Every structure is written in structure tokens, then in C-alpha cells.
Structure 1
């Protein structure tokens, strides 16, 4: 009888505990967001460990660092997620502190405008594609897009002031 009780606990209770633990980890705040452009991935991290990873869409020209306004590129480097916008045109959004001082100096030296308003945001409400299908294409103007459901998760895990590293 004792063996059956233990077997019952292993089969039925352990998956429930694992799911509860996983759900709790998504509610806890993260201390770093990392975007790997070449892999089209955004990862949220806590204490040096990846908590969850998301497929992302970026600008039409994903390779290279953003240099100027309208170049359809996603910046590269270390920035801060400095504020949240709940009424974004693309569901919700979290602002990336681009351009930083280095970006501004580079743009000034080249005589161009660096651009700005780079965000992590949800889906394009005008897209005819289902959300998961749309994520297979780069469609933003340089922002980082996830599905609305994923944006809800990120919204809970990320506080203003969280650093973000965007890698090539």
C-alpha cells in the first residue's frame, strides 16, 4: 500500500509541483534581458540563469547596429528598459534607452539622426497572420516584437530600470 501511495505522489503530484514552480519563476522579477539578434531570441535572466526564451521579430534589416533613424535596424549594445507603456499601438511596450551617449556621438559625427523609440512590444494588430506565424518574419521598424501573450509574461517579469543587452 505504501508503494502505491508513493507511486501516486510521483505520477500525479510532481508534475503539478513542477508547473507551480515554473509559473512562480515567471512571476518573479528578472535582472537582465538578453537579445541575440542572430538567433532571433530574447531571453530573460535571473542570477545568471535563463528563466525563459522567446522567438522575436525585429526590423527588416536585422544585421548590424542601428545607425540612423529609419534604417530598419535593431540597435546593439547595453541599454536600460527605462519605462513601460500600457497603451502602445502594438499592444503593450517596454522602452529601450536607445540612443545612448555613444549612439548620439556617432550620429552627430556622421551628421545624421540616431532615431529612437525602440521598444519591446506585442503583435501588429493589422497583421493578417496568426501571432506565431508573424513571429517568423522581421516586420518592425527596429523594435523587438513578441506575441501579446508573451508580452503579458514579460510585462510581469520586467521592471523599469532592468538592463538589456542586445547582441549581434
Structure 2
């Protein structure tokens, strides 16, 4: 009887320990048309992956917690506006998977420094957002989608892809 109780207690501990465990990111493959650009429409909370002028896939997004206007300096909670490119891939992101956006550019740096501020950085498209479907903006300036969506986006988008972020 004592052995049965011990086995049951160990099984219960294993089940409870696994409840908080997060599944590792899935690195998917993609064999569709090449994604040549990304367009983000901040006002509509939409992101489009394009091949030429054809929309291949669209996503609902969450933005920085102060979504109106162009990012001006570190800590302002805004998502940048303008033309950038995907400059890095992070398979070990704190937000499931992430794709780096090349913000700040030279103009962003000049503007921030002229106002006595730092421009900030580390702007990404990333996962870990259960709020995108509810239109809650929560990031520090990034573009967030769900974990399942970033797995798909991560497979589709390559470094060097242009991203245009519109107001």
C-alpha cells in the first residue's frame, strides 16, 4: 500500500511540474512563394506578408502600449513607422521566436539625440501574445502575434526582407 501511495505521489508531482512547462518553439519549413516584403498597418492592427504585390498571409497584431505616432526615443512605448528590414532571427527569444527590425536608422538616432534622448532599439516581430485577437496593445514597441503565428512567420520571412510600418 505504501509503495502505491509513493508511486501515485510521484506521478502527481510529475503532472503538476509539467503544467507550467512551455513547449519549445517549433521551427517550421516553408515552400511557398518567397516573401519579398512585410507591410504593417498600425491603425488597422494588421500585418501582411507579400510576395511581389500579392498578399500571401495576413495577421492580427498587437503594438507598443502607446501605439499612435512614430517611435521617438527609448521607453516611449511606440512602434516605429517607416521603412526598415528584418536584420536578425532569434530562435531563443523570451517571446517564443522573434525577427529583428532594423530600427533605429540614422534619422531615428539623429532625431532622438537632438532631443537629448536615446533612440531605443530591440524592436522585433515576436510571439507570446494571447491579446492580439482582443486588440490589446502591450509591447514596449514591438509587433506581437500569437506563438503559433510567429512559428509560421519565422519560417516564411528571411533576413533582409523589407518591412514597411505605416501609421
Shift of 1:148: 0.8
* Alpha carbons 1:30, 1:157 under 8 Å: kept: yes
Q: Secondary structure at the match of 1:155?
A: helix
1:62 pairs with one of 63, 67, 86: 67
In the alignment of these two chains, the number of paired residues is 139
- Cα distance in 2 for partners of 1:120, 1:25 equals 18
Q: Secondary structure at the match of 2:125?
A: strand
1:84-111 deviation line (CA, Å, top 9, x unaligned): 0000000000000000011011112111
* TM-score when normalising by structure 1: 0.78
Is 1:120–2:125 an aligned residue pair?
yes
- Cα distance in 1 for partners of 2:151, 2:136 equals 21
Q: Hey, what does 1:141 align to over in structure 2?
A: 140
Shift of 1:160: 0.4
What pairs with 1:100-111 in structure 2 (closer than 5 Å)? 100-111=105-116
Q: Which runs of 5+ in 2 are unaligned?
A: 1-28
Counterparts in 2 of 1:59 and 1:167: CA distance versus 1, 3 Å: same
Q: Which runs of 5+ in 1 are unaligned?
A: 1-23, 125-130
Instruction: Answer with 103-112 or 25-34: which moved more.
Output: 25-34
Structure number with the higher helix fraction is 1
- Cα distance in 2 for partners of 1:39, 1:76 equals 14
Structure 1: 4+ residue segments shifted above 6 A: none
RMSD of aligned residue pairs (Cα, Å): 1.8
* Alpha carbons 1:121, 1:151 under 8 Å: kept: yes
- Cα distance in 1 for partners of 2:59, 2:112 equals 31
What pairs with 1:6-45 in structure 2 (closer than 5 Å)? 27-45=32-50
* TM-score when normalising by structure 2: 0.78
Q: Secondary structure at the match of 1:159?
A: coil
Q: Secondary structure at the match of 2:48?
A: strand
